[in-house]
Amino acid sequence: MTNKLMLILIAGPYRSGTDGDPQAMADNLRSLERAAWPVFAAGHVPVIGEWVALPVLRSAGAGPTDPLADEVLYPVADRLLAHCDAVLRLPGESAGADQDVATARRRGLPVYFEASEIPRRTPGEVA
């Protein structure tokens, strides 16, 4: 148990292995989102880079397969990591998620590979 409230970046495949197929990317996003509940249930705040990056891309008139995506998806995750306390790395090949793990380690942040590894917060404690 811990008293520290953590903002935890959930990192895993989004575009990887999809060949730009919108349904496959949507499925990958759902997989990332399934990990949000265990993080929240442990007393922390989950965040997924695509939750921020996709609206940014849409506001620029672009999508995840447009050339602009590389200038948004990776930088958003990097900027989020400046505020995160840890990373939960989900299975699957993903250059972006591997980059997130490398950034987290460089910054001395813990990297978890299973939600069960995340320390639970003491019930009723305020950050």
**pLDDT band per the 50, 70, 90 thresholds, residue 72:** very high
pLDDT at residue 55, rounded to an integer: 97
With vertex at residue 87, the alpha carbon angle to CA 82 and CA 85, rounded to the nearest 5 degrees, is 45
- For the chain, domains (ranges, CATH) are 7-113 (3.40.50.10400)
pTM of the model: 0.93
DSSP 76-107: HHHHHHTT-SEEEE-SS--HHHHHHHHHHHHT
Q: Which two tokens stand for residue 7?
A: 């903002």
pLDDT at residue 16, rounded to an integer: 94
